[in-house]
Amino acid sequence: MNFISEIIGYPLGFVMWALYQITHNYAVAILLFTIVTRVILLPLAFKQQKSTAAMAAFTPKLEELKKKYAGNQQKLNEEQMKLYSEEGINPMSSCLPLLVQFPLLIGIFDVVYRPLTHIIRASKDVITQATEIAATIYGTNQSFTVRPEIYIVRAIKDQPDLFSGLPLEFVEKVQDFNNMLFGFIDLGMIPSFKPEVWDAASIGLIMIPIMSGLAQLGSTVYMYIRQKKMQAAGGATKNSADGMQKSMMNSMNVMLFVMPVFSVYIAIGYPAAIGFYWTCSALIGFAQSVLLNKVYTPEYVAGLVEKDKLKKKDKTKKRNSMMERYQQMLAEQNGTVTPEQTNRNSITVSGKLKDDEDEPKTEAEKISKSKQREIERKLINEARRRQAEKYGEEYIDE
């Protein structure tokens, strides 16, 4: 897992470093980093939103199949796959953004755990020496072995004299590292419901996981309400909607409790920078969902689905038309049919006349492989010549 986190963490760390160089504030850099990652994932969000809306309109048709083939599971599976293909819907497409965000979160953990590596850009030898010195202070702390760089930053700021043997430039960079939120919340600290002292900093720290849970709860409730509206707009019948809504209600009820609790767990058990990122991500994701839902209405999605189906049909027709023309040109070149017969659409796939379909082929009608290759070469050269004329290029016959 450490190897994977480093692979993902280094490029993300470079982005975070660039943002910190611009803002000189770690909290603002995290906020901007969240926006950047959301923009990068925006095409996937569009696809997910379109798929979710299309599935809501598609569900009534699926429920009808379930009723029709209730006693034949194999036939039901075949008809479902056929319906998915006809409607151009991939039932797993809505899961793709979640799968992409998981490794992204692993990279974020690595970036936040190692500010000396990704933000300060210190060498491994210097970090190793600093870790040995910090171990004299935090050696009994189990968390120190997991995330030593966060504790090193705190130790250098509190007791800089202990690190006088390290390069002066490194110590100064760490002391100047601004990882404070609102000027008093240390994002390297871990929030606790039982702090040593209840002051502004400890209250601010504990508010981060609370805000993270509330943001996730609001996002889940909004998704639940939106899903019910889309089901109603999809025109589901009462019987089919009952079963569908029961299943949806069960999954959404689980999300209503699990996701906020998970968000609080992430924010309370790790440095505040992780919880702050999680909170920013939830809030920006909620705003993004609201905006996308304004655009991807059920009516708009239905129009997009119809356009996709028409495009698919047009591609199929063009492909079939090209194959027919190719077969006709082969037949004309072979001399087995005349252009007049071709125009009367009397050509079969093999190039024979429909009227003579049952007659045996003579040796003269058979095409040698060399002659067929010659015909194919001429067809390819003709296509190249037309392509060159289209773009105003010089054509040389090979």
pLDDT of residue 81: 81
Q: pLDDT grade, residue 167 (50/70/90)? A: very high
Domain ranges of the chain: 2-119+197-296, 367-398
pLDDT digits (tens, 9 = 90+) for 334-361: 555 544 544 444 444 444 444 444 444 4
pLDDT of residue 23: 92
Tell me the β-bridge partners of 181: 185
Gap between the Cα atoms of 373 and 14, Å rounded:
55
Are 258 and 216 in contact by the 8 Å Cβ rule? The answer is no
pLDDT over 80 at 161, yes or no: yes
Q: pLDDT grade, residue 250 (50/70/90)? A: low
What are the residue ranges of helices labelled H in the chain? 2-23, 26-40, 42-68, 73-87, 96-113, 115-118, 124-138, 142-146, 148-158, 168-176, 200-233, 238-268, 272-295, 298-334, 339-343, 369-390
pLDDT of residue 305: 66
More confident residue, 28 or 314: 28
Q: Which of 55-64, 241-250, 376-385, 386-395 has the lowest mean pLDDT?
A: 241-250
Contacts of 357 by beta carbon, 8 Å cutoff, 6+ apart: 348
Of all helices (H) and strands (E), which one includes residue 181?
Answer: strand 180-181
pLDDT of residue 143: 74
Round to the nearest angstrom and report the end-to-end CA distance of the chain: 56
pLDDT of residue 213: 87
Are 273 and 179 in contact by the 8 Å Cβ rule? The answer is yes
- The pTM of this model reads 0.64
Q: pLDDT grade, residue 29 (50/70/90)? A: very high
Q: Which of 105-119, 133-147, 324-338, 357-371 has the lowest mean pLDDT?
A: 357-371
pLDDT over 90 at 163, yes or no: yes
Q: Which of 122-126, 248-252, 263-267, 379-383 has the lowest mean pLDDT?
A: 248-252
Q: Are strands 185-186 and 180-181 parallel, antiparallel or unpaired?
A: antiparallel
pLDDT digits (tens, 9 = 90+) for 35-90: 888 888 787 777 776 676 666 666 777 778 888 887 788 888 888 787 777 766 66
**72: phi > 0 → left, psi -120 to 50 → alpha, else beta; which?**
beta
pLDDT over 50 at 260, yes or no: yes
Burial 271-281 (b: 16+ CB within 10 A, else e): bbbbbbbbbbb
Question: Where is mean pLDDT largest: 2-11, 122-131, 221-230, 332-341?
Answer: 122-131
More confident residue, 308 or 187: 187
Question: Where is mean pLDDT largest: 126-130, 237-241, 276-280, 388-392?
Answer: 126-130
pLDDT of residue 358: 45
pLDDT of residue 1: 52
Average pLDDT of the chain? 75
Q: pLDDT grade, residue 255 (50/70/90)? A: low
Percent of the chain with pLDDT over 90: 13
Gap between the Cα atoms of 295 and 300, Å rounded:
8
Gap between the Cα atoms of 326 and 162, Å rounded:
82
Q: Which of 138-147, 261-270, 338-347 has the lowest mean pLDDT?
A: 338-347
Tell me the β-bridge partners of 353: 347
Tell me the β-bridge partners of 180: 186
Q: Residues 383, 384, 386, CA angle at the centre, nearest 5°?
A: 65
